[in-house]
Structure 1
Amino acid sequence: MFRSVARIPTQFRNVLSVSKVCPRNQHSCGLKYSTAAAERKKFYQDVSISQGEGGLYEINLDRRKLKTPGGKLFTVPNEALAIAVATEWDAQRDTLKFYTMHLTTLCNTALDNPTQRNKEQMINAALKFLETDTVCYRVDEPYGLVELQRNEWDPVLHWIENRYNVTIGSSSSILGPEIPEATKDTFQQHLNSYNIWSLTGLEYVITQLKSVVLSLGMIDRHLSVEQAVLLSRLEEEYQIRSWGNVEWAHDYDMYELRARTAAGALFVHLSSESSTVKRKLLQD
């Protein structure tokens, strides 16, 4: 039982992820990356956090110190993120559902950097999505979808252009709009202000939504998680309203995407926090 759990904002609860846990010995617990939705019987009772060398925070499962898939000691830069990760572990019941632990996986990625990328490479990878941004690609027909895209996407597009003083535009061409170099430079400078941990979370969100515009709109709190996810699925939702859907499958996909997106956004905010919990952020 984790006895010092702070309250996480409602819009960021129930975040999910994929990872696999393997105890190495009685003092540590290492994790292995996994693409499978693996489960395992719970092997610990108490979850706690402690502050170690350099002011970094560690996660303890009973007497085991959590480790990353690469064998590093699992440490996070501040108390807020440590509490959020510990809450994921504490939320597990008799069976560990590793696919419900997105924050843990994002921390592992930031710590191990399995693709061995530097900050510039991470920024370039994130900005690649700007060239194929969801809200920039429009359809010519049917008229109903054309209107829906215009009414729902244009306000967000105008907001981000004004917010960052850039030009992005939209197009119904298969090639999409031609993004000015000045716009790319502006976003590159902006993303360069993020630390490696926050960039890890932001890139994850962008990958989920297939949109730099929607991701920054959500990170900047212009959009809620629900709004950003719905806007990223606008064409799919239109088709569902027109032709119907398999209800359980649609709902599952929607909730999964919301959970992953919320996890990434929460990770960005918490990895940018100071070394102590900011009570204002952790209140509903």
Structure 2
Amino acid sequence: MPMAFMTGSIVGKRFYKQVTTREADDGNGWTVMLDYRTLKTPSKRPLKLPSLALAKAIAAEWEYQEEGLVKALEDLLKKTDNCELASIDAIASAAHSLVIAIGIFRGKLNIEEAIELIRLEEDLQVDKWGLVEGGHDVDIADLRVQISSATVFLGLSRI
């Protein structure tokens, strides 16, 4: 088992004490603050929200993250063997979602359901704007291979 899981460096304590909202610096929208830091998008840009209500809803989600959830995840991962952990990691990386990886691991999601959930937003965009050949179709095939191979590996490791 990787040392990070035993030391808790991956699934550690909350790194912030207070969650607040404030008007965006340009006065156009709202931001969520974790202590003095502005919540950022995956591309490292400040998350700017169109309404105070949405900013407060996101702030509430951050505020109510409990230590017990982290502990439950840590306990689950400590019970996995190396093959299971490798599968969870591969699926979570491909899906960009630990929830989907755990769903497959626990047998709550099959491959097709997982791929449908992973692609939900992008498929809506494809429906609206169309499929880019050599782009979207290649991404779909690659995702299918990554999720399927990790799921098959997981299944074979349990036989």
| Structure 1 contact 205–264 (Cα < 8 Å) conserved | yes
| Aligned equivalent of 2:122 | 236
Superposed CA RMSD in Å reads 3.1
Q: Return the offset for 1:213.
A: 1.1
**After the TM superposition, which residues 165-180 of structure 1 pair with which residues of structure 2 at under 5 Å, given as runs?**
173=58, 177-178=61-62, 179-180=65-66
Q: List per-residue Cα deviations over 1:81-132 (Å, max 9, x = no partner).
A: xxxxxxxxxxxxxxxxxxxxxxxxxxxxxxxxxxx9436269864x59xxxx
Distance 1:176 1:255, change over 3 A: farther
| Structure 2 contact 131–137 (Cα < 8 Å) conserved | no
Q: Which has the higher contact order (CA 8 A, sep 6+)?
A: 1
Q: List per-residue Cα deviations over 1:214-268 (Å, max 9, x = no partner).
A: 1111222221212112211221111111111214432221121011111112222
Task: Confirm whether residue 197 of structure 1 aligns to residue 79 of structure 2.
Answer: no
**After the TM superposition, which residues 196-275 of structure 1 pair with which residues of structure 2 at under 5 Å, given as runs?**
196-273=82-159
Larger radius of gyration: 1
| Aligned AA (1:188) | E
Richer in helix (by share): 2
| Aligned AA (2:139) | D
Q: How many residues align?
A: 116
Task: Confirm whether residue 118 of structure 1 aligns to residue 3 of structure 2.
Answer: yes
Task: Confirm whether residue 182 of structure 1 aligns to residue 68 of structure 2.
Answer: yes
Q: Which runs of 5 or more structure 2 residues have no equivalent in the other structure?
A: 13-48, 51-55
SS at match of 2:135: helix
Q: Return the offset for 1:270.
A: 2.3
Equivalent-residue separation in structure 2 for 1:239 and 1:229 (angstroms): 16
Equivalent-residue separation in structure 2 for 1:257 and 1:121 (angstroms): 30
